[in-house]
Amino acid sequence: MHIFGSNFQYANKERFAINANANLYFNEFNGNTNSPVAYQMLEGLQPGTNLTWLLGLQKRLTSFLDLNLNYIGRKSEEAKTIHTGNVQLRATF
């Protein structure tokens, strides 16, 4: 497997941060990709060309309240694009 990727990070004094990355995978796996062991080894990627991307935003709203937004996507040659996201509001006591 060959991986090419790029990463971007930014943070400022106003307690705001962005993290973004994109990776291109060239996977030459030969075997049964539907087995649990192969799925774990390949991290869910399929044989052929795969693309993954991530965008994360973090903002401190108050001195005890943080907001995190994350979006993750992946695309392989023969599968539909998978989009995953989550939102977290965290209070620190």
| Alpha carbon distances (Å) from 54 to 1, 51, 59, 84, 88 | 20, 11, 17, 9, 16
Interval 2-14 mean pLDDT: 93
Domain containing 36 equals 2-91
- The domain total for the chain is 1
Interval 49-74 mean pLDDT: 95
Residue 86 amino acid letter: N
Say whether pTM exceeds 0.85.
Answer: no
pLDDT band at 37 (very low <50, low <70, confident <90, very high): confident
Q: Check: CB of residue 73 under 8 Å from CB of residue 84.
A: yes
